[in-house]
Amino acid sequence: MRSDKLFQIVSHVILVILSLLAILPMILMLTSSFTDNDVLIANGYSYFPEKWSLYAYEYIFKTGNSVIRAYGISIVLTAVGTACALCITTLLAYAISKKELPGRGVITFLVVFSMLFNGGLVPTYMVYSSILNLKNTFWALLIPGLLMNGFNVMLMKSYFCSSIPDEILDAAYMDGAGEVRTFLSVVVPLSKPIMATIALFAGMGYWNDWMNGYIYITKRTELYSVQNLLNRMMQNIQFLSQSSSNVQNANVGLNAIPLASVRMAMATVGILPIIVIYPFVQKYFVKGITLGGVKG
């Protein structure tokens, strides 16, 4: 079909442009992370730096806490967190997608309300540290804030409402399937795209989070996740260089810390795994759903 071909060509052109726009600054980030720090400050960021250097990466991997172990924590956290988040979110979203469920409006309202209002940092901290005693444990990275959010629940609920026709569910009930079986054998297979989406969002949330580690991990540095570790390193260097006149000059080697390039190197180190993992998640975004197949 001609119109289809035209559509494909136009799409390619536009997407190539968008991809370039997206990737060019990222390449700048990459090249500047490999640029000599002094050159970076003196000449600014450049795609073709005057002097290349690996020092920023050396610094990250050699200093203080182990980045490798932090990667481990991040991977476990992201895997466990994503799985839990996906389960909880899906179950709640499915419940409020049921049009006849008594109390549906109230529950939905509670979900939306939770997106708008928040008790604030100190009260939240008190709940998790004093009441639940999660401080300095792995759970403190997993649970606060990230496990489920109203946005994802609403997103999923909207998908359930719009993309899973009532007729299919009714057909399942007719066959004598209970709620649980209907959910597992009809709803879940039909919801792969949205489940992949929520898994991706939750996973990105866990991977990028540094706030939980920042607040709840004060003693066990071995529980630092990558983003937490990198953020701390970055801010510590920043403070260190700002208040450098306070530091024992003779023995810290302050001038050896390549702040400008380290910043970029850290950002690169932080997103690298996503580039590796993303293709595996992606296969769920590629194929559409055919209702006929499920019905039969």
* Region 240-279 residues binding another protein, contact defined as CB under 8 A: 240-255, 259-260, 263-264, 267, 270-271, 274-275, 278-279
* C-alpha to C-alpha distance for 77 and 225, rounded to whole angstroms: 8
* C-alpha to C-alpha distance for 44 and 91, rounded to whole angstroms: 50
Size of the site for another protein (CB under 8 A): 152
Q: Is 66 in the site for another protein (CB under 8 A)?
A: no
Q: Which residues pair with 35 in a beta bridge?
A: 52
Q: Is 129 in the site for another protein (CB under 8 A)?
A: yes
* C-alpha to C-alpha distance for 168 and 177, rounded to whole angstroms: 12
Interacting stretch for another protein, rule CB under 8 A, among 50-58, 72-80, 127-135?
Answer: 127-135
Q: Is 52 in the site for another protein (CB under 8 A)?
A: no
From the CB of 58, what's the least distance to another protein, in Å?
A: 12
Task: Output the six-digit token pair for 46.
Answer: 């450049």
* C-alpha to C-alpha distance for 226 and 9, rounded to whole angstroms: 41
Non-local CB neighbours of 155 within 8 Å, separated by 6+ positions = 93, 194, 197, 198
In 3-state terms, what secondary structure has residue 52?
A: strand
Q: Is 30 in the site for another protein (CB under 8 A)?
A: no
Please state, as a whole number, how many other Cβ atoms lie within 10 Å of the Cβ of residue 142: 18
String of contacts with another protein for each residue 69-108, x by CB under 8 A: ------------------xxx-xx-xxx-x-xxx--x-xx
Q: Which residues pair with 52 in a beta bridge?
A: 35
Q: Is 133 in the site for another protein (CB under 8 A)?
A: no
Interacting stretch for another protein, rule CB under 8 A, among 48-56, 68-76, 185-193?
Answer: 185-193
Q: Is 62 in the site for another protein (CB under 8 A)?
A: yes
Q: Is 185 in the site for another protein (CB under 8 A)?
A: no
Cα 3 off chain centre by: 38
Q: Is 126 in the site for another protein (CB under 8 A)?
A: yes
String of contacts with another protein for each residue 187-216, x by CB under 8 A: ---xx-xx-xx--xx--x---x--x--xx-
Q: Is 19 in the site for another protein (CB under 8 A)?
A: yes
Q: Find the radius of gyration of the CA atoms of the chain.
A: 24
From the CB of 234, what's the least distance to another protein, in Å?
A: 8
Q: Is 64 in the site for another protein (CB under 8 A)?
A: yes
* C-alpha to C-alpha distance for 215 and 227, rounded to whole angstroms: 13
